[in-house]
Chain A
């Protein structure tokens, strides 16, 4: 159990630096904008500064960090700590508690306009990490109060891969641009477990537990043990000490389009991350469990014969199962936007919708933004986002692109309290994007109305 949520927190740390920020959707000058829709292109060609050229991360869920962490005797601890009162620990939890995180780190990136100043191509190498976790309220109630219950759908998944992409955006007609990005993926690691059933009962008459679930690990090598009944089971004590990379390969496609209905009204639509990752059998491990343990105490009859019940939690471990490799769909997303500009596009009003198909739930985001472009080299946006019933957030973005640098920052963490790692403490949804590139090459001439 400790290993599993240590992994989850490690993922949170990794993703704390960045997430795809909805406020950036209408930032014309930003290099990062094309990540939403491959039909978008920056104002000019560019070369990203390695590792800080594009950093994105987002966290979405229905619980915030301070629903899971709290100060206890001057130390930061989890709500699962025995010193944290149950009433405090359970107060901020929902029936099903979900958190999802995604991160992208741009390792190499560059792009340029072609001679016609309309077509734009780019090449990127990114590192991506995705993590999802969910836990029902009954699980926390069991841990904090010791109340027996069923905590089905307790699960977590985490995967990371390197993505090498080539993107090309081109006009069909003056008003309609298409963009396609093809991505070759190299898998680094994946860990996922899910309990379709998990029941625990501790009573005066018996102690009973039933678990049914699956485990998938790729890239990392879990150890194995033999349980008391001779079954080979996984043991995670040394997981991470040996790695098998690349753990798999995959392919993905982003497809997008923009259409200027009017010179001042642009619509955009894209579908991203259509594809798969095939985790190889050599680097993967699959475990399954569907076991009961029950202990009713030993009964010694009048004939002196005694029953032999056992209570061994190892029987609930994931048993080594046949493995023919794992093929998983990428976490696709659909993005749609509309922006109406006035004053020669110096001010724009945008509405953006995004649906991300995460492991356990589709996450919806509706963002309204006001975009300011007072100069060619200075763009600023303010936005308000609504996250599918979970929470809301206000964000700002700033893109400064004079001739020698292209600097972009977008965040919805401006005023909220955060950890030193920039993870919001009381906000359950977070986005932050940072990018720095060196503009190179010719400027594009896509817009019918130019900002002067």
Chain B
């Protein structure tokens, strides 16, 4: 009986031991490496939205920092009601670097001035307001006695009266006056440069554990097909009747969002730009958005007002899991 019992117990013990899987040792569980999501995951996070109104967009010091609204008004004066070839926009760059294009604009303007007195007076008033001294000088230096006489009349007269005189001279002496007006238009239409827009981005109150979740498992910059990576992306919207070109960068980082063409009343995407841990830390700790801006096109038939704005939204994309 004892042997039988011993046999039964031994058999039971062997059976039990035989079913033990040593790999599943509960004292040896790897508990690190926990992440939210995995290699195929993608997380998006809003970071910053910056808005600029017409007061933020201005010409450079050579034009006394005049605002985009003032710029629009001065451009409009020199534009015909109908642009050459029925275009719906003015190529601002071509005004500076394409004399043929500029000439076509001026030819259309002068043709309209010959038939439209209101347009004649509008241009004449602008010249009297902005270029009186230069006008008087050019008239007095001309070889025409009437123009010389007119120059002395313009010295002390009112803008309205002077505009009338200039408008009449335009009709009587178109060749001479067109030449003078073309010289003056160049000051308003050529080399239009906007001042950089710099904006301080305050520190983002994001706790350290969130920052670690986003940055702890990033692949090195040498990894071209990175699984765990950070990117900035976003979009811009503009309510202005202009096409702008911007190139936003973040100061003290290598973040360059690239050349972005913002068209009128459209939303333009900002493509992914890969960033790294140090870049994100700088963003989180507070930084400066530096944005060179230039004009590309002007849409004279579109309106805008003081409430029009450009907005730039920058978001974060994290590919791969979030380590916890």
Contact = CB atoms under 8 A, between A and B. Distances in A.
Interface residues of A, number: 69
Contact of B21 (A204, A207, A418): A418
B37 interface: yes
Given A310-B205, A311-B210, A202 B34 contact: no
Contact of B19 (A12, A80, A311, A416): A416
Contacts of B49: 297-300
Given A81-B34, A205-B46, A419 B41 contact: no
A382 to B, nearest CB: 13
B309 A421 contact: no
A349 B205 CA distance: 69
A207 B45 CA distance: 7
A308 B30 contact: no
Contacts of B122: none
B33 A83 contact: yes
B48 A86 contact: no
Contacts, number: 181
A127 interface: no
A49 B156 CA distance: 123
Interface stretch (A128-136, A143-151, A213-221, A319-327): A143-151
Interface SS of A by simple majority: mixed
A313 B207 contact: yes
Nearest to B43: A202
Nearest to A70: B24
B30 A204 contact: no
A423 B26 CA distance: 9
Given A297-B48, A301-B51, A418-B20, A82 B207 contact: no
Given A82-B35, A415-B19, A302 B56 contact: yes
Interface in B34-70: 34-39, 41-53, 55-56
B191 interface: no
B209 interface: yes
B45 A76 contact: no
B29 A309 contact: no
Nearest to A423: B26
A86 B38 contact: yes
Contact of A145 (B22, B24, B37): B37
A145 B323 CA distance: 13
A82 B55 CA distance: 50
Interface in B177-226: 199, 201-202, 204-207, 209-210, 217
A313 B210 CA distance: 8
A181 B38 CA distance: 53
B26 A16 contact: yes
B116 interface: no
B315 A76 contact: no
A204 to B, nearest CB: 4
Nearest to B31: A2
Interface string B9-29: 000100110011111111111
A69 interface: yes
B150 to A, nearest CB: 46
Given A142-B36, A145-B41, A204-B315, A72 B24 contact: no
Contacts of B8: 398
B46 A308 contact: no
Interface in A400-446: 400, 409, 411, 413-423, 425
For B50, B209, B217, the residue with the greatest tally of chain A CB atoms inside 10 Å of its CB is B50
A400 B2 CA distance: 11
B121 interface: no
B44 A204 contact: yes
Contacts of B324: 1
B109 interface: no
A312 B210 CA distance: 8
A76 to B, nearest CB: 5
B241 interface: no
B48 A419 contact: no
Interface in A118-176: 142-146
A446 to B, nearest CB: 26
Nearest to A227: B207
A295 B206 contact: yes
A114 interface: no
Contacts of B321: 82, 146
A366 interface: no
A203 B26 contact: no
A375 B43 CA distance: 69
Interface in A200-236: 202-207, 228
A450 interface: no
A204 B49 CA distance: 13
A203 B323 contact: no
Nearest to A147: B37
Contacts of B210: 311-313
For B19, B210, B323, the residue with the greatest tally of chain A CB atoms inside 10 Å of its CB is B19
8 contacts: A77-B33, A81-B32, A81-B34, A82-B37, A205-B46, A297-B47, A378-B5, A398-B8
A-B pairs, 7 with minimum CB distance: A297-B46, A146-B37, A310-B205, A82-B35, A204-B44, A302-B53, A77-B30
Given A78-B30, A300-B199, A309-B204, 9 more contacts: A77-B30, A86-B38, A144-B37, A202-B43, A296-B46, A298-B201, A300-B51, A302-B56, A308-B202
Interface of B: 5, 8, 12, 15-16, 19-39, 41-53, 55-56, 199, 201-202, 204-207, 209-210, 217, 309, 313, 315, 321-324
